Amino acid sequence: MAFAIVLGLLVAGAPAVAQPTPEGKAIAESLFRDGRALMDEGRYPEACRKLEESQRLDPALGTFLNMAVCHEKEGKIATAWAEFNEAMVLARREGRQDRYELAHERVLAIEPDLPKLSVTVPAEARVNGLEILRNGTPIGSGAWGASLPIDPGDVVIEARAPKFKPWTTTLQIALKEQKSVEVPLLEAAPEPEPDPVVGPVRPGPNEPPPPPEEFWNTSRIAGVTLAGVGVVTMAVGGVFGYSALNQQSDSDAYCSGSTCNDQRGVDLSKDAMRNANIANITIGAGALVGAVGALLILTGGSGAPPTEVESGVDVSFTMAPSQASAGVRGTW
């Protein structure tokens, strides 16, 4: 029973039965040779990783034995002990007595130095869903309390269960040592806070209702100001337009038809044209500013104007010798 438990904790399992691909065999052979060379140099941690990958790609008894020897040299004697035991089973299955004897010899040599650790769980600590881990590997309940081989060094024991806080302890164990760890009753985890219910905010019984929104807010005040500026600007433009009409009328008194031979008529016509241009620009700008002001008054700054509605005001004065006209065009 103890042997089966140790194999479950220390060995990833028996070699896979799936046939490796030719490419996998080639890679495995290269890794095996690299691992053997590193072992000869005494670089056991690197060598063991190479041999482990070679064995994964192309499981073979020879590779498995070399991997066990490497782990023993690396100091992982419990891992090596479990692997040598597994190698004995494989060697007997393949009829390799020589390799069986080699593995058996190493098992007997290692056993006296094996560190052993037992993890006990009292009855009161066995809560529902309890899981015990040794260096990240779960220990089944059947192994609780059993003294099991373990590699020397740091050992991390964890206990966790639903609705309980996890518990962790770390200890060191050396060659030939036997230690025991008792898992305490886990502390209950606090109940999670319920998710807040999102809903409309309503004033409490003792809270006054929020004050109503003021009509004359900053946006509407700015709108009134802009509307006033627009009206004044349009009025100024109207003055220039009226002056342009009068000047053009006076110019017509000195000119007839499309030509003018009197310098006084020419000068009056030029002045009328200049004032008409000023009127057009001033009235157009005033209309635009006034429209923005009106929009701010209507919306109070709470929204954007409709994108599909166009509005505008077009005011123009036209001057020509013997003719003057004024026009207003708007779209809403």
Average pLDDT on 177-183 reads: 97
The predicted pLDDT at position 186 comes to 97
The predicted pLDDT at position 150 comes to 96
Sign of the C-alpha dihedral computed for residues 32, 34, 40 and 44 taken in this order = negative
CA dihedral 219, 225, 226, 232 (to 10 degrees): 170
Which residue, 135, 156, 182, sits at the end of a domain?
A: 182
The predicted pLDDT at position 310 comes to 45
Residue-wise pLDDT for 83-121, tens only, equals: 999 999 999 999 999 999 999 999 999 999 999 999 999
pLDDT at 321 > cutoff 50: no
pLDDT at 36 > cutoff 90: yes
Confidence label for 203 from pLDDT (cuts 50, 70 and 90) = low
Domain limits at 250? 218-331
Which residue, 82, 112, 142, sits at the end of a domain?
A: 112
Same domain, 164 and 91: no
Residue-wise pLDDT for 272-317, tens only, equals: 788 788 878 988 887 887 788 788 777 775 544 444 444 444 545 4
Query: Among all chains, which residue has been given the structure tokens 């990833």?
Result: 12
Residue-wise pLDDT for 217-273, tens only, equals: 787 788 778 788 878 888 887 888 888 788 777 777 777 666 777 777 777 778 878
pLDDT at 1 > cutoff 80: no
Same domain, 12 and 94: yes
Confidence label for 3 from pLDDT (cuts 50, 70 and 90) = very low
pLDDT at 131 > cutoff 50: yes
Same domain, 76 and 124: no
The predicted pLDDT at position 5 comes to 41
* C-alpha span between 227 and 188 (Å, rounded): 70
Confidence label for 4 from pLDDT (cuts 50, 70 and 90) = very low
Most confident of 77-86, 201-210, 280-289, 316-325: 77-86
CATH of the domain at 142: 2.60.40
CATH of the domain at 10: 1.25.40.10
Most confident of 204-208, 209-213, 217-221, 327-331: 217-221
pLDDT at 167 > cutoff 50: yes
Same domain, 33 and 120: no
> Does a structural domain hold residue 204?
no
The predicted pLDDT at position 200 comes to 64
Which of these, 149, 181, 180, lies nearest to 168 by C-alpha position?
181
Beta strand pairing call for 116-120 and 178-182:
parallel
Average pLDDT on 11-25 reads: 65
> Does a structural domain hold residue 319?
yes
Same domain, 76 and 120: no
Same domain, 121 and 108: no
pTM for the full model? 0.52
The predicted pLDDT at position 180 comes to 97
The predicted pLDDT at position 253 comes to 73
> Does a structural domain hold residue 197?
no
Average pLDDT on 39-52 reads: 97
The predicted pLDDT at position 69 comes to 97
Average pLDDT on 60-83 reads: 97
Which residue, 182, 207, 233, sits at the end of a domain?
A: 182
pLDDT at 319 > cutoff 60: no
> Does a structural domain hold residue 206?
no
pLDDT at 205 > cutoff 70: no
The predicted pLDDT at position 173 comes to 97
Total domain count, the chain: 3
